[in-house]
Amino acid sequence: NLGWKGCSKQWYQRRVRATIEELDAKMREHETESHEGKRIVEAVWPIFKVHHQKSRYIYDLFYKRKAISRELYDYCLKEKIADANLIAKWKKDGYERLCCLRCIQVKDTNFGTNCICRVPREKLEEMKIVECVHCGCRGCSG
């Protein structure tokens, strides 16, 4: 039980909780599945994806649909149901579709640049498939 408070409509509170619990179950499933036949970095990609989905869900409910209260939104951030740092980046121009924070951390790259998934598709070679090493993203630059 996550102690969901602050949502004015009981039915919506249950719906939000149900979605988050479903994503948590998906996360646990990915954490326990076999990594046989995958590269080491590929094993965590599904976990990054679910983490992103949970944060995007809460972000959309609060900022886009205006469907949850500030109190419930703050609770989700405080309890780390959603990633506050990732959401803070989504609010900035150019980062609306950011996949994960590691892709913009220049200290994690050999040449001190952003991840390949942050390069706009029109600036890449034609027919080149891009895949981020950190999270498996195939292009989040817009």
* Burial per residue of 74-87, b for 16 or more beta-carbon CB atoms within 10 angstroms, e otherwise: ebbbeeebbbeebb
Q: What is the pLDDT of residue 32?
A: 92
| pLDDT at residue 35 is higher than 50 | yes
CB-based contacts of 9: which residues, under 8 Å, 6+ apart? none
Q: pLDDT tens digit string along 84-115? A: 999 999 999 989 999 999 888 888 777 878 88
| DSSP string across 37-104 | TS-TGGGGHHHHHHHHHHHHHHHIIIIIS--S-HHHHHHHHHTTSS-HHHHHHHTSTT-TT---GGGG
135, 101 Cβ separation under 8 angstroms: no
What's the rounded mean pLDDT across residues 39-66?
Answer: 93
What's the rounded mean pLDDT across residues 64-81?
Answer: 89
| pLDDT at residue 6 is higher than 90 | no
Q: pLDDT band for 4, please (50, 70, 90 cuts).
A: low
**Residue predicted with more confidence, 11 or 65:** 65
45, 135 Cβ separation under 8 angstroms: yes
Q: What is the pLDDT of residue 45?
A: 92
| pLDDT at residue 75 is higher than 80 | yes
**Taking Cα atoms as reference points, which of 120, 121, 119, 115 lies closest to residue 134?**
115
| pLDDT at residue 7 is higher than 60 | no
DSSP 8-state class, residue 14: H
Q: 23: which 2 tokens?
A: 């994503």
- At position 75, the amino acid (one-letter code) is Y
